[in-house]
């Protein structure tokens, strides 16, 4: 199985290779895509990307937590959390890809 980590630079490189854009513009576009998504989420707006997945927002109420080290009870403030739901296409492609990897490794 793979063990590499992809970063923004790899995504930008893919735009250079596959779309033929200059490198600096590719970097800007990767950043722009991520920031548009972040802006929507920061505004409390869910983001759905067909064939990829959706980023939803869940509101969490206040609850009592514990400091695991001291056992002391501390309130956990209400907060918003992001939940990602992968599309079926993504799930299928991941399983198909990794099944292939396993066979190759055997």
Partner 1 sequence: MIKSELIQKISATNAHLYHRDVERIVNVIFGEIVDALARGDRVELRGFGAFRVKYRAPRIGRNPRTGASVSVDEKFVPFFKTGKELRERMNQGDAD
Residues that bind partner 1 (CB under 8 A): 1-8, 10-11, 14-15, 18-19, 21, 29-30, 32-34, 36-38, 40-42, 44-53, 55, 57, 59, 79-82, 84, 86, 90-91, 93-98, 101
Residue 38 is inside which H or E element, if any?
Answer: helix 23-42
Helix, strand or coil, per DSSP, at residue 80: strand
Region of 28 please: left (phi>0), alpha (psi -120 to 50) or beta.
Answer: alpha
Helix, strand or coil, per DSSP, at residue 46: coil
Quick one: 74 or 94, whose CB is closer to partner 1? Answer: 94
Nearest approach, Cβ of 50 to partner 1 (angstroms)?
5
Nearest approach, Cβ of 23 to partner 1 (angstroms)?
14
């Amino acid at each position: 199985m793979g063990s590499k980590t992809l970063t923004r630079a790899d995504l930008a490189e893919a735009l250079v290779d596959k779309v033929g854009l200059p490198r600096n513009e590719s970097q800007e576009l990767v950043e722009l895509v991520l920031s548009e998504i972040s802006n929507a989420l920061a505004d409390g707006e869910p983001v759905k990307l067909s064939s990829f997945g959706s980023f939803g927002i869940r509101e969490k109420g206040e609850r009592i937590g514990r400091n695991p080290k001291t056992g002391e009870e501390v309130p956990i403030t209400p907060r918003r959390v992001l939940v990602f739901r992968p599309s079926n296409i993504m799930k299928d492609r991941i399983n198909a890809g990794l099944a292939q990897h396993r066979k190759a490794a055997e």
